[in-house]
Amino acid sequence: MTAPSRLPAPSSTPTFAILDLAALEREGAAWDDLVSRAMDPHPHYSRHVLATHRAAGLAPDDLRIVVVRSGVRLDAVLPFRSTYDLCGLGRPVAQPFLSPFVTASLPLVGDGPDWPATLAALVAGLRAASGGRPWRWPLLATGTRLGQALCAAMKADGWALGEVEAFARPMLDRRPSHDAFVTDHPHRARLKDLRRRQRRLSEGGHLTLETATVGDALAAAVETFLALEKIGWKGAAGSAMACRAPHAAFARALFSGGGGPVSARADTLARDGRPLAVSLALLVGGTVCLLKTTYDEAERAGAPGLVLEAEIVRVLHETAFAERLDSATLAGSALESLYPDRETIAEIVAVPDGGRGLVSLKRRVRLARFEHAAKAGAKRRLAESAMAQRLMGRH
């Protein structure tokens, strides 16, 4: 009897390589397999999401990616690019791939007994990818198992790391029941206020929560989102997704299927069939990562966006469609009063030469902080100017 054929056993020593996106897409099955077994997974560096970025013109075909493999098995993936900023002092620095829709930058790393060796190979790949120059790394979950291990692996390889800034991102780990969630919530007055606002919204008609995960219903929910966001302040400012053709194309393609281990979800709060708020999200590895939420600004007093998110929390506990909700927000999110758990998200500067080069790590960190302060000041002045224009328009 002929013995059945088997795939080659993984190599005992993981090795790194630097590929472009088109080349890695040819290993789609292996890439999907990595996402399925990744520790601390997120959807942003999955095959489907990066391919959708490329199709929408938000990522180039030759986007470079550090990969680690053991034989035919992919063990780690991190897309990156070279960029210029203050902390590079005129020379390029490396940065994980980011877009307006990427909210996490941990690499995808396969879980299992070999992951310390995988991280060692990944760190060697990071050094090669930047040509020994620094990495500026925003949106890094430094408190997770992988985040801590990655930072430790870089330090073990002689890197110096400095934190530019950090914030606590709202998360929600599913409790045994919704009653348990409410009972243990640190802001129960906020939950009471949301119930009051929900009753206020329902005075005008029957409220429903509609969820779409596949097919025409999902596509229709995306179109509803694009239309609702465009009639609000983002549409007036030109920043709504529907105002930018690549962004609208990205949303439509992302929620059109073909996601492998990444699935999509759209939740709509409606009153007598008229949408009041829409939330778009991606699900991977038991975690739902919010992508975008919008609401009818004419109903602002009823806080339909937050009421929708509270309803999603209720359904999470009733149906157990995930283990965790990731707000995917920056600091100061309204979800801080609804999601009781936190995950530290930091920006770091990582220097392969241990900070012994001509420019010290401390100076690079100071320059990055100065850049943040300058951008925050410009953003604040723009907001004040927009507010003044709105006030003038009322008189």
Report the percent of the chain where pLDDT is more than 70. 89
Amino acid at 4: P
For residue 66, pLDDT over 50 is answered with yes
Average pLDDT over residues 272-286: 97
Characterize the bridge pairing of strands 287-295 and 324-326: parallel
pLDDT, position 359: 73
Distance CA 299, CA 294 (A): 12
**Cβ pair 57, 163 in contact under 8 A:** no
pLDDT score of 12: 67
Residue 389: predicted pLDDT: 56
Residue 385 has pLDDT above 90, yes or no: no
Report the C-alpha dihedral over residues 329, 333, 337, 339, rounded to 10 degrees. 0
Amino acid identity at 88: G
What integer best gives the mean pLDDT of the chain?
91
**Average of per-residue pLDDT across 259-279:** 95
Q: What is the pLDDT of residue 3?
A: 42
Task: State the maximum Cα–Cα separation within the chain, in Å, rounded to a whole number.
Answer: 90
What pLDDT is stored for residue 9 in this prediction? 47
Task: Please indicate whether residue 365 or residue 182 has the higher confidence score (pLDDT).
Answer: 182
Residues in the chain: 395
Separation between Cα atoms, residue 19 and residue 55, nearest integer Å: 18
Instruction: Give the pLDDT mean for 330-347.
Output: 96
* Averaged pLDDT for residues 181-199: 96
Residue 20 has pLDDT above 70, yes or no: yes
The pTM (predicted TM-score) of the whole model is 0.90
